[in-house]
Structure 1
Amino acid sequence: MSDSKRGKRPLVADRRYPKGTGKAPAKKPVKKPAPKRRTPARKPKKTDNILVRILRWFLRLIWVITWRVTAVAVLILALAVGYTWTTLPNADALLDGRARGSVTLEDREGKTFAWRGDQFGGAVTVATVSPALRDAVVATEDRRFYRHFGLSPRGIASAVRINLREGRGPLEGHGGSTITQQTAKLLCLGVEYDPSAWASEAAYVRDCRRGSLQRKAKEAVYALAMEAKYSKDEILSIYLNRAYMGGGAYGTEAAAQRYFGKAAALTTPAEAAMLAGLLTAPSSLAPTANLQRSQDRAATVLRLMGDQGYLSQTEVARWQENPATLSPAARRKAGGYFADWVMASGPEFFTRNTTEDVIISTTLDQRLQRAAEEALDYIFENKVREGSKAQAAIVVMGADGAVRAMVGGRESRVAGVFNRAIQAKRQTGSAFKPFVYAAAMDLGYSPLDTVVDEPYCLNIPGSGEWCPGNYTNTFSGQVTLTDALKQSLNIPAVKVSESVGRDLVRQVASQFGIENDLADGPALALGASESTLLEMTGAYAGILNGGSSVTPYGLVNLRLQGDTEPLMGTGGGIGERVIQEEAAGQLIWMMEKVVSEGTGARAQFGGRQIAGKTGTTQAARDAWFIGFTADYVTGVWMGYDDNTPLTGVTGGGLPAEIFRETMIRVHEGVPVRPLPMLAPQGAPRPQAETTSNRRERTIPRTTEGLIDMLLRDILGGGGPPSGQPNNRIPGESR
């Protein structure tokens, strides 16, 4: 057994740890191979792979093109806005952009009564107008003005929708413009008016208001540039100064002065709403054109202000119940004819075509202007048949030629229309006869000299025999010159004219101011020549002032707004002497008999001494009465514009009554003064019963006077018989 174990090594376990450590060596981690991931098999697609790929490619292409085009467009827009920004001036330079200046006319007391041209009341800002006016404009024109960047996409979309719904093009009608865009239009996108480049200012304005797509794009760029350059308040201030607001007024200050006679800073919410309402349609909504329509529009503006929180509902109701009304001057439109005449009489570069703001002081008396207008209205309402197309004109002036009132037609509250007082040249008829007797008096004739009223003929070379007749076709025999004038006898007038010489008569009339060509033949004495009412009234003023010529005038002085020194003064007044003062006094004495005893009896009023003369032309195409007291001269003409004969009307009828109604109103509060007349030597002394207490009950002593009285009684000159309508033009004698 022992032999079997010999030579064998003992069984010993392997050293498990390195020497000296006593620890087992760390085992190296065995890296396990990562499991192989299996790629899942693709599921079959439901759609065609080619179509999807094409669609995705097309959308990707559109996106790439869109953002690049947008980026380029934004860059171009930024450059355009930036360039426009550099061209914009300071905001203050844009407040007044009128191409023409304005003319403000003041009456003799310095009160404004009329405006002409492009009225501008002075620059205002958002801070200087009333808060109500600022709020009314924003509420009406652009409620999001203080929140947008110059353009309102929402407003544009709404406007396009409305236009399409109403059957218009997308850019026609409603524009959706912001206040900034409207201001850009008012500035004409920076293009100033150049008379050499435009046919007219109206053509320039039309081009500025074009609504084409290209124009809209330029407008948007300009609006964005304005928003970048100016503050919101500056933009609104420009708008408040430049907007046209009807009646020739540009800007809120001018409009407030024009319609309410006050500054824009003092306007009430009702007045502010009316002004803001004008911005939609300034000409048709102007309160001077249609006050009710303007008030209705203002009520809508007040409601918008309430809806947007600018006014409480109580305030809205209060101001709607108390709408704005016009100032007295705007309500009357006083002196429309007079203002037109003054504008035409001044230098054109300071009136009709002025580029400056001009103030003209005039001779107008607004009380007398109202008196003339009311008198004319009264006669046509009460003495003229309904539907009659007859016209009339009135001029009231002083003895120095200062025109105090002028009515150029039945429609008295108008402007820019035909003015019969200065533009209608009509035959003067017997109203010319005082100049015949003026020449005679100046040669030493006496009012008591006599002439025979009898059949009379003259042989006119080239025309044959001419035989004048009297209105009554009767003859009075031997009469004094005074009786011949007061009865308006034709034959004595022709005889006197032939005796003193037609040339002298023509010279006297011309020097008194009758500037139109005077007839050469003997019919000169009977008023065959033409003249205007203004000229004839001025000539009678020369008789009143003692025989000196008169140039009627209405312009006292002209100055630029803000200046105290006038640039020019009046161009009228008393001129050179025409006849001697004694001759003028005797002529006034004769003309006083025309009213107190003769054909002008209907002109009497108030116990005043009145001198005058009637006039009726052939076939009664024209009827005149011109007369005066010691204080005023008034001329009246009546007729048809187309020369249709008047029916039963002569100068001693309706024209004399218009004179009377006018002078009654004119002389309210005026002390009674005697005429500067001179009775001739040998004239009978006045009876104890003076003119003042016999005027209204004088029985005319002439045949014509009796006819006049009978016609007046029969036809109702003082009013229609009881129960009968007065719907006719009454018949008259001389």
Structure 2
Amino acid sequence: MSTSGRKRPPLVAPKRTRKTPAKPAAKRARRKPARSRNPIIAFFTRIIGWVFRVIWGISWRIGVVITLIVGVAVAYTYTTLPEYASLLDGRAKGSVTLLDSKGDVFAWRGDQFGGVIDADTVSKHLKNAVIATEDRRFYMHPGVDPIGIASAIRINLREGRGPLSGNGGSTITQQTAKLLCFGVEFDETQWKNEAEYIADCRRSSLWRKAKEAIYALAMEAKYTKDQVLSVYLNRAYLGGGAYGAEAAAQRYFGKSAANLNPSEGAMLAGLLTAPSTLAPTSNLERSQNRASVVIGLMRRQGYLSDSEVAIALANPAELSAAAEAQAGGYFADWVMASGPEFFTRDTTEDVIIKTTLDQRIQRAAEDALKYIFEEKVREGSKAQAAIVVMSADGAVRGMVGGRKTKVVGAFNRATQANRQTGSAFKPFVYATALELGYHYDSVVVDEPYCLNIAGSGRWCPENYTRKHYGRVTLAEALRQSLNIPAVKISESVGRELVRKVASDFGIESDLAAGPALALGASESTLIEMTGAYAGILNGGSSVTPYGLVELSLLGDSTPLMGSGGGIGERVIREEAARELIYMMSRVVDGGTGGRAKLPDREAAGKTGTTQAARDAWFLGFSADYVAGVWMGYDDNTPLTGVTGGGLPAEIWHETMVRVHEGVPVKPLPMLRPAPKPAPAPAPRQRREQRPRSNNPIENILRGIFGGN
């Protein structure tokens, strides 16, 4: 086969050499030789890099170790956390709720717990207010809020404090951990009292902060956010002895925490920072001002609209009527002291006590005292007064233990002050005499009178007027409060018998042994004296003043104990008591107690003024109520221009007028002596008649002009 003679192309491409294009001459000229680095800078750069690598190597390892330790600590703490339901009531002691005679709450004592609430059922306004005030990122952090901590440190440093002093940046979860005391229970052998235990739980240090953070992380792992918030709302102290939002809502507003409006929710949330100081029962205006700040926070965080804010600020939260009563004052304290301590002051249970208090009568007594001191007592006077109002069976309906009525735990002059009774004691002298057969119209001679007292010499009592009135009846002697007849009667019937009658009527204080017993030289308390006068009103039987009617545990229908007072044994005959009431009614109707006279009904009573006017009393009764009034100075300074028939009688009058508003009029159960017949007019003496004259003209003139 012939070929065409053309050369065939090779089967493999020929090897080609890649040529680098030549650079322009200008570029070759601009290229500079490589400059050598500064060895010193290079050295330090290498050192810094090495240090950084060492620190980073150590840091991430330490971080891993810390994370593992924290994780183990959180895991362990998680296993120790109790069930959610057991955390809701953390009180070491129980509460006492006091009800008045109608069954309405008027006071609380102890650690009150209104009942379990949760974040789902509580008022949204309270829930939002707490979050806005205490932890606005509550639903976003895992229990510890680094942003909040950094912000708190910045604020503390800016205000010149240490980084951990002042604002702590604690979340609600961390605060709840402190409320739980990190799971440490109160132990009486380790702490002197609960206050010391709480103070130890609140102590702040780096170690405590770390423990708090671990506990908070464990809680967030164990419980839901709403469960943590529920524990916080149930355990937080909100002032006034109220633990938890439900107790506080009932305590201050008389309603459930589920029904709080924005201003009320804001007020409770505002208490969390300083519950005792900001409590509305301590200073309502200060509490309202704090609530307005909380409302502003709620607005900025979108929980309230502008219109809702305007309404809340225009209508600040107000206290309920029971809260206005300031925890029942003196009466509540007295009832608490009258019950067994393990059910009152030291109770570990929630106790309900029904009492004899009538809140209408309590207000009447308070208003009367305030009126007299504002209108009749000089401004700046330090004089004190006390009032007790009770029924004839000894049931105390109202009690004022001093001029400051809005107090708790204060000195109660109605039950704790032992003072000389003065002439207010005289009814027991005459009660003894009437029981022995004397009568209201029995006569005693008021004349100079002296006794020789062994060891003391001659004693000659005098009347207040320093005059003598001769023969007077017992009723007149009591009406004018004459001293000499009272001493004479006491000596005639026997001092020991007088002492016994007074003691049987309920005066338990030590009674004087000498003849001055009849003039009230002995001391007694206002409640004892008022109770003794109640025995006169009820017909001569003793009474034991009482305020506690029933005591039961919360939720139990069967009372654990009943009343410890009431009518006791008979002391004098009913006829003697009726005569004595009549005699005492003359004291008010024209006697030394005239200022106590009531405008629409009968009243009876007795004045009392002690030596140098250190004490002034008026005690008396209508057919329905007995009331006692004492006035004096706590340091025994003599009163100026005051006797029992003066200001005390006026306080008594103002009290009883208010007490009897709307009460039907009833007569006193007293003897009513038959009116003495009017003296018969003297017989008209007939004129001696002259015999008729025989002179007709003379007879006519005598018939016209008369005469003889």
Q: Does TM-score exceed 0.5, indicating one fold?
A: yes
Q: Deviations over 1:346-374 (max 9, x none)?
A: 00011011111111000000000000000
Q: Deviations over 1:130-178 (max 9, x none)?
A: 1111111111111110011111111111111211222222111111111
Distance change (3 Å), C-alpha of 1:138 and 1:520: same
Does residue 1:185 correspond to 2:168, yes or no? no
Q: Deviations over 1:542-586 (max 9, x none)?
A: 000000000000000001111111110000000000111111111
Which amino acid counterpart does residue 122 of structure 1 have in structure 2?
A: G
Q: Deviations over 1:572-612 (max 9, x none)?
A: 00000011111111111111111112100000112311110
Using the alignment, how far apart are the partners of 2:503 and 2:522 within structure 1? 12
Using the alignment, how far apart are the partners of 2:244 and 2:580 within structure 1? 56
Cα deviation, residue 672, structure 1: 0.8
Query: Hey, what does 2:522 align to over in structure 1?
Result: 529
Using the alignment, how far apart are the partners of 1:173 and 1:308 within structure 2? 23
Cα deviation, residue 289, structure 1: 1.1
Query: Hey, what does 2:638 align to over in structure 1?
Result: 645
Query: Hey, what does 2:37 align to over in structure 1?
Result: 45
State the SS of the aligned residue for 1:122.
Answer: coil
Using the alignment, how far apart are the partners of 2:35 and 2:231 within structure 1? 70
Aligned residues of 2:108 and 2:327 also touching (Cα < 8 A): no
Does residue 1:403 correspond to 2:396, yes or no? yes
Which amino acid counterpart does residue 430 of structure 2 have in structure 1?
A: Y
Query: Hey, what does 1:245 align to over in structure 2?
Result: 238
Q: Deviations over 1:662-718 (max 9, x none)?
A: 0000000111111111146x763799xxxxxxxxxxxxxxxxxxxxxxxxxxxxxxx
Cα deviation, residue 649, structure 1: 0.4
Query: Hey, what does 2:168 align to over in structure 1?
Result: 175
Aligned residues of 1:334 and 1:366 also touching (Cα < 8 A): no
Cα deviation, residue 430, structure 1: 0.2
133, 136, 154: which one aligns with 2:129 = 136
Q: Could you list the runs of 5+ residues in structure 1 that have no partner in the other structure? A: 1-22, 36-40, 688-734
CA root-mean-square deviation: 2.2
State the SS of the aligned residue for 2:507.
Answer: coil
Query: Hey, what does 2:502 align to over in structure 1?
Result: 509
227, 231, 242: which one aligns with 2:220 = 227
Does residue 1:574 correspond to 2:531, yes or no? no
State the SS of the aligned residue for 1:586.
Answer: helix
159, 165, 175: which one aligns with 1:166 = 159
Does residue 1:99 correspond to 2:88, yes or no? no
State the SS of the aligned residue for 1:615.
Answer: strand
Q: Could you list the runs of 5+ residues in structure 2 that have no partner in the other structure? A: 1-7, 21-32, 680-708
Distance change (3 Å), C-alpha of 1:220 and 1:450: same
Query: Hey, what does 2:321 align to over in structure 1?
Result: 328
State the SS of the aligned residue for 2:527.
Answer: helix
Using the alignment, how far apart are the partners of 2:134 and 2:48 within structure 1? 47
Using the alignment, how far apart are the partners of 2:576 and 2:451 within structure 1? 29
Aligned residues of 1:334 and 1:369 also touching (Cα < 8 A): no
Query: Hey, what does 2:102 align to over in structure 1?
Result: 109
Between the aligned residues of both structures, percent identity stands at: 71
Query: Hey, what does 1:693 align to over in structure 2?
Result: none
Query: Hey, what does 1:282 align to over in structure 2?
Result: 275
Query: Hey, what does 1:723 align to over in structure 2?
Result: none
State the SS of the aligned residue for 1:609.
Answer: coil
Using the alignment, how far apart are the partners of 2:333 and 2:608 within structure 1? 27
Q: Deviations over 1:185-237 (max 9, x none)?
A: 11111111112210121111111111111111110111111111110000000
Aligned residues of 1:429 and 1:615 also touching (Cα < 8 A): yes
Query: Hey, what does 2:139 align to over in structure 1?
Result: 146
Aligned residues of 1:274 and 1:297 also touching (Cα < 8 A): yes
Using the alignment, how far apart are the partners of 1:356 and 1:179 within structure 2? 28
Which amino acid counterpart does residue 666 of structure 1 have in structure 2?
A: V
Query: Hey, what does 2:686 align to over in structure 1?
Result: none
State the SS of the aligned residue for 2:361.
Answer: helix
Aligned residues of 1:538 and 1:552 also touching (Cα < 8 A): yes
Cα deviation, residue 43, structure 1: 5.6
Using the alignment, how far apart are the partners of 1:683 and 1:644 within structure 2? 46
Aligned residues of 1:183 and 1:235 also touching (Cα < 8 A): yes
Does residue 1:451 correspond to 2:433, yes or no? no
State the SS of the aligned residue for 2:564.
Answer: coil
Aligned residues of 1:246 and 1:282 also touching (Cα < 8 A): yes
Using the alignment, how far apart are the partners of 2:193 and 2:499 within structure 1? 46
Q: Give TM-score, length-normalised by structure 2.
A: 0.91
Does residue 1:85 correspond to 2:78, yes or no? yes
Which amino acid counterpart does residue 501 of structure 2 have in structure 1?
A: V
Please show how residues 403-552 of structure 1 align to structure 2 within 5 Å. 403-552=396-545
Aligned residues of 2:176 and 2:232 also touching (Cα < 8 A): yes
Aligned residues of 1:396 and 1:634 also touching (Cα < 8 A): yes
Cα deviation, residue 46, structure 1: 1.9
Does residue 1:654 correspond to 2:653, yes or no? no
610, 624, 628: which one aligns with 1:631 = 624
Using the alignment, how far apart are the partners of 1:335 and 1:52 within structure 2? 79
State the SS of the aligned residue for 1:340.
Answer: helix
State the SS of the aligned residue for 1:248.
Answer: coil
Q: Give TM-score, length-normalised by structure 1.
A: 0.88
Aligned residues of 2:238 and 2:275 also touching (Cα < 8 A): yes
Does residue 1:120 correspond to 2:91, yes or no? no
